[in-house]
Amino acid sequence: MALPTLTGVGRLTADPELRFTQSSKAVASIPLAFNSRRLNQQTQQWEDGDVLYVRGTAWERLAENAAETLERGMEVMVTGELRTESWEKDGQKHERTALLIRSIAPSLAFATAQVSKVASGQNGPQQGARRPAQGQQGRPQQTRPAQPPADDPWAVDNAKGYSNEPPF
């Protein structure tokens, strides 16, 4: 039986925490909160309903991109598989709901985003990479490829016949 899939809009309750396994795979812990906020028709005030707190985990390139892009308080759209994590501490068994994140992105309802495509040869699909160089205030520096990938249909190169027009 397949695990349940969650697709929803939530908020980060803390900055993503990026770590690396002993085999150099990137893993990010992303704490999320989902709530059922609704407008009270009588008072015209917003009321918060139940809240679901979930610890999200992203791996490899997705983990690195999320840690570089997302911050505490951001509203995000996320998809992943719900799981139950179990552990024992001081003789007590504990469980919590966790989310294996397959896709996560900032919601453009309250923010803007600048997207830079990673060239298909860089790190391969979902391949881990070395931690990016740190810029001011400990945030990773944004880097862009010098040239667009050869197979990018949106690339502009008038000498080779590319244009600003969509490829469809």
3-class secondary-structure state, position 18: strand
Q: Tell the residue number behind the tokens 């812990």, with chain if given.
A: 29
26 located within any domain = yes
65 located within any domain = yes
pLDDT at 166: 55
For 132-168, the pLDDT digits (tens) are: 444 434 444 444 444 555 555 555 554 555 455 555 4
Q: 68 near 52, Cβ under 8 Å?
A: no
35 located within any domain = yes
134 located within any domain = yes
For 99-145, the pLDDT digits (tens) are: 999 999 998 887 788 887 776 655 444 443 334 444 434 444 444 44
For 48-65, the pLDDT digits (tens) are: 888 889 999 999 999 999
Across the range 81-102, mean pLDDT stands at: 90
Give the CATH number of the domain where residue 113 resides: 2.40.50.140
168 located within any domain = no
User: DSSP string of 77-107?
Assistant: EEEEEEEEEEEEETTEEEEEEEEEEEEEEE-
Range of the structural domain that residue 108 is part of: 5-160
Q: How many domains does the chain have?
A: 1
Does the global pTM surpass 0.75?
A: no
Query: What single DSSP character describes residue 140?
Result: B
166 located within any domain = no
Name which of 146, 144, 138, 166 is nearest 154 in CA terms.
Answer: 166
pLDDT at 119: 67
b/e map 115-149, b = 16+ CB within 10 Å: eeebeeeebeeeebeeeeeeeeeeebeeeeeeebe
167 located within any domain = no
Q: Which amino acid is at 157?
A: D
Across the range 30-54, mean pLDDT stands at: 88
Q: Which amino acid is at 63?
A: A
pLDDT at 113: 80
What residues contact residue 111 under an 8 Å CB cut-off, 6+ apart?
74, 75
Across the range 21-46, mean pLDDT stands at: 89
